[in-house]
Amino acid sequence: MSVLGTTAVLLAVPVLAGCSGNPEEDVRAAAQAFLEDWAAGDTAAAADATTDPEAAGALLDQAATDLPEATLTPEVGDVAVEDGGATVDWTATWDLAAAPDWSYPATLRLREAEEGWDVVAEPTLVHPELAEGQRLLVERVLPERAAITDAAGRPLFAPTEVVNVGVDPGQVTDLPALAAALSAATGVAAEEITADVQAAPPGQFVPVIALRRPDFEAVRAQVFDLPGAVFPTETRLLAPTSRFASALLGRVGPATAEVLEETTDEDGGPRYAAGDQLGLSGLQRALQDQLTGTPGFTVTVVSTDDTTGDAGLEVDAVAPLPGEPVQTPLVPAVQNAADAAVATQPLATHLVVVRPGTGEILAVASNEAAVAANALSGQYPPGSSMKTISATALLATGTLTPQTPVACPGTFVVDGREFENQDQFDLGTVPFTQAFAKSCNTTFMQQALQLPDDALATAAAGYGVGTDWQLPVDVFGGSVPADSTGTTKAANAIGQGQVLMSPAQMALVAAGVAGGTPAVPVEVVGAEPAGPTPATPDPAVLDALRPMMREVVLSGTATALADRGEVFGKTGTAEFGTNTPPDAHGWFMGYQLRGPQGDLAFAVLVEGGQSSSLAVGVTDAFLGGLPQA
């Protein structure tokens, strides 16, 4: 690569042409002209200004190889002239790619020529420690990546052996058979493997999948003897498991072009380089500079003959600056229980756990079938889990209490559109608590239509819904329109219509009910608040709402959780799409009172679960998997 891009050159005085009659000025002008050409990348012109253009050209070309992508800024200092010779002190400052600047003092020797002065062609014109047959070896040094820790301050990532399952095209004897066998063992599509191998240049390793050592050992017998399959190993910085809070934590790997483009130094240049291990997603990417630190470098003078094995002489170094650790509120025991719970479901499933009163995110889990990021940033209709917010709005009017008799017919018509309860169940007239516990759609539609148009949005805002949370990793704060009327307003009351939520935001709503104050999400301990604290719901309203949520578990739609201690919640079935009958997501949001261990609020979403029963089952598995002591 060419070493010298165009750069501004710091010159003490303008370059002088011809002979001034003042030897010092002439020497300075000759030295400046040489350095200016070198800095501008015109090594041929710079070499022509020396006593031996061929030798100088070789020296400057070697410097270009030794300092790839670097730019030189020279600054001329003192000049001394005596007996047909001269010396010029100067300072070289190299802007190294993805490393701190490197500066050193140097001296040019010049000889008087027939016309003016020539720079002496010798290795020291590049660096004062350089001698014949030597070159510079500049090596970047990255500091050890700072830790992301759990709530107790324990690092969550550790160096882990990884086996890269891949293909050496030159060893393949039967590509279709190889692709089919690798696909059967790894789950990567055979068509994808075939296409990648066919597109690869000869001799290039074609990656298929990277597996932790235990995962590779589980499939070793299926793949190890396949002609063309190869298995180079490496060490990567990995979380405890491949799914462990992956939406929040992210992962570390070789820098991608996209990541390199978004990380620049104070001068707008690259901060990191291809091959660096950087954060590729989640907190690892969002807090890149804090975690990665600042690279340093070493400069060594070594032999130009690589076969000598010359260890060289270190002539300069800048130590890398370590990054600063990041503490999360994640609790491994809670995260592990959440991971195990979502793994019981073949459908895409998410579970987010929040600490009431603080908003600290204790666990973020998604199973293999799910897009992990959707646990935090996904946008889904919440279905009847929205009734927690709708009940808040209704109770806040003061005209409705948990004991107020309300109608729960099997169907209800709004502006000519018929809505119904599941299987058109009809409870007749029952206390509001029972309508909530049994998830009566028609009750909530009838009651919500009597509210002001902005009442649902106002109640939702009291739990932080609708806030544009400012977090390292995005959390969708939900959306409840304030101006819906008619059928849309009725549908919004049961979490359909235009209402959208993320699992994380529904967990925050549950945390707000449990803790009595709105929960502002916390991803990093000690960070600035993610947003303003919403207006706290009326304590009297929450006191009325909590027994209603408890009744859901004791006698309503979530009785499968009745033996899991003091659990409060609300189920939800949310229709989506255009199929007939419509597909539906399954929800459960709620909290468990755990005494000295700390209460937990949570939300579970099973995408396409068709009813809330699957989400209740995942919740049951989660609560059952938590430490009981």
pLDDT tens for 600-625 read 999 999 999 999 999 999 999 999 99
Return the closest-CA partner of residue 251 out of 367, 373, 375, 377.
373
Let me know whether 430 and 524 are in one domain. Answer: yes
As a whole number of angstroms, the distance between CA 465 and CA 35 comes to: 62
Answer whether residue 207 shows pLDDT above 70. yes
Return the structure tokens found at 370.
Answer: 């799910």
> Three-state SS for 277?
strand
pLDDT of residue 10: 40
CATH of the domain at 269: 3.90.1310
- Inside any domain, residue 6: no
Instruction: Give the DSSP letter string of 514-539.
Output: HHSSPPPPBSSTTPPPSSPPPPPPPH
pLDDT of residue 269: 75
Answer whether residue 499 shows pLDDT above 90. yes
Select from 76, 95, 130 the last residue of a domain. 130
Let me know whether 288 and 432 are in one domain. Answer: no
pLDDT of residue 92: 98
Let me know whether 387 and 464 are in one domain. Answer: yes
- Inside any domain, residue 347: yes
Does the N-terminal peptide bond of residue 169 adopt cis geometry, omega within 30 degrees of 0? no
Answer whether residue 551 shows pLDDT above 90. yes
Select from 291, 318, 345 the last residue of a domain. 318
Let me know whether 209 and 231 are in one domain. Answer: yes
pLDDT of residue 16: 39
Contact between 335 and 365 (Cβ < 8 Å):
yes
pLDDT of residue 97: 85
Return the closest-CA partner of residue 106 out of 85, 123, 90, 130.
90
CATH of the domain at 84: 3.10.450.50
CATH of the domain at 399: 3.40.710.10
Mean pLDDT, rounded, for 198-221: 94
pTM: 0.87
Q: Quick: pLDDT tens for 418-448.
A: 999 989 999 999 999 999 999 999 999 999 9
Let me know whether 241 and 340 are in one domain. Answer: no
- Inside any domain, residue 200: yes
Confidence at 6, pLDDT banded by 50, 70, 90: very low
Name the residue with tokens 């390292």: 472
- Inside any domain, residue 17: no
- Inside any domain, residue 139: no
Return the structure tokens found at 466.
Answer: 């609708």
Let me know whether 66 and 206 are in one domain. Answer: no
As a whole number of angstroms, the distance between CA 287 and CA 462 comes to: 30
Mean pLDDT, rounded, for 213-223: 96
Mean pLDDT, rounded, for 124-153: 95
As a whole number of angstroms, the distance between CA 421 and CA 425 comes to: 6
Contact between 251 and 284 (Cβ < 8 Å):
yes
pLDDT of residue 17: 41
Let me know whether 372 and 512 are in one domain. Answer: yes
Confidence at 19, pLDDT banded by 50, 70, 90: low
- Inside any domain, residue 265: yes
pLDDT of residue 83: 87
pLDDT of residue 391: 98
Instruction: Give the DSSP letter string of 121-160.
Output: -SGGGT-TT--TTEEEEEEEEPPPPPPEE-TTS-BS-EEE
The parent domain of residue 502 ranges over: 332-576+617-625
- Inside any domain, residue 430: yes
Q: What is the mean pLDDT of the chain?
A: 93
Confidence at 629, pLDDT banded by 50, 70, 90: low
Answer whether residue 1 shows pLDDT above 70. no
Let me know whether 408 and 544 are in one domain. Answer: yes
Q: Quick: pLDDT tens for 504-537.
A: 999 999 999 999 988 899 999 999 999 998 888 8
Confidence at 21, pLDDT banded by 50, 70, 90: confident
pLDDT of residue 327: 98
Return the structure tokens found at 31.
Answer: 């030295």
Angle at the Cα of 86 from the Cα atoms of 81 and 90, rounded to 5 degrees: 110
Mean pLDDT, rounded, for 233-245: 94
As a whole number of angstroms, the distance between CA 501 and CA 488 comes to: 16
Q: Quick: pLDDT tens for 322-366.
A: 999 999 999 999 999 999 999 999 999 999 999 999 999 999 999
Residue type, 516: G
Let me know whether 271 and 179 are in one domain. Answer: yes
pLDDT of residue 433: 98
pLDDT of residue 337: 98
- Inside any domain, residue 587: no
Answer whether residue 8 shows pLDDT above 70. no
Which of the 8 DSSP states describes residue 561? G
Domain count, the chain: 3
Let me know whether 245 and 347 are in one domain. Answer: no
Residue type, 523: E
Q: Look at the alpha carbons of 359, 242, 379, 558 in this order and tell me if their dihedral is positive or negative.
A: negative
Let me know whether 302 and 407 are in one domain. Answer: no
Let me know whether 252 and 383 are in one domain. Answer: no
Residue type, 280: L
As a whole number of angstroms, the distance between CA 328 and CA 309 comes to: 46
> Three-state SS for 177?
helix
pLDDT of residue 562: 97
Contact between 380 and 350 (Cβ < 8 Å):
no
> Three-state SS for 554?
helix
The conformational region for residue 131 under phi > 0 = left, psi -120 to 50 = alpha, else beta, is: beta
